[in-house]
Amino acid sequence: MKEIKNHLYEQVARIGRAMASPKRLELIELLCQGEKTVETLAAQADISVKLASAHLKELRQARLVETRKDGKYVLYRLASNSVADLWVSLRSEAEERLVELQVALASLVEHGQELQGMDRQTLLERAARGEVVVLDVRPEAEYAAAHLPHARSLPVNELRQRLAELPPDLPVVAYCRGPFCLMAKEAVELLRQHGYHAIHLTDGVAEWRARGLPVAA
């Protein structure tokens, strides 16, 4: 019986080992945005294709990631939304326990830029009524895979050229891939420089879904 018990713990530990790598956690966060090729993942995680493939192999062996063929391409995706929930839960617990992480996160979003005084349900209702613009500043492919309801796609690298598309008299709430993502911070700073009332929503699609809120696709 002891051998069986040890085997049970060993199987659970496979998940822990697969996630015990900063780059593998980053790959999971990227896959929370939708399925991607290894080349895309490598570029977005700023690592070589060879290293990305090795990390993805570890995640596949732990059954956290799956693949499918699309012509000559192999697309990687999370095994289920529960893997995204696991990432959000792990990151949230780390933020709760680790002062170092709290300090690092505080440096990403300046006081006064983050969403305050408005809960997520209220944000949804105001966006539905056209009282606030919710801006998804991720790449268009990620927006197409899943996005917050009533959100508009405007990738951050196109924002400066397309500012005229945004109504100047409405508040803008920008979001990207989650608390560790810098694209929404960059977007908020640019919008404020041009006179917009811009707010940073640190939630991404994974965090939004983990809260039990609806996601559009």
By annotation, the residues acting in catalysis are: 176
Neighbouring-strand partners of residue 143? none
* H or E, element range at 18: helix 2-19
Tally of CA atoms within 13 A in the half-sphere of 45 that contains its CB: 27
Q: Which amino acid is at 11?
A: Q
Please list, in sequence order, all residues whose beta carbon lies within 8 angstroms of the beta carbon of residue 38, skipping any fewer than 6 positions away. 49, 52, 53, 56, 74, 76
Q: What is the H or E stretch that residue 191 is in?
A: helix 183-193
* Distance, CA of 193 to CA of 140 (rounded, Å): 24
Rounded-to-integer distance, Cα 123 and Cα 133, Å: 10
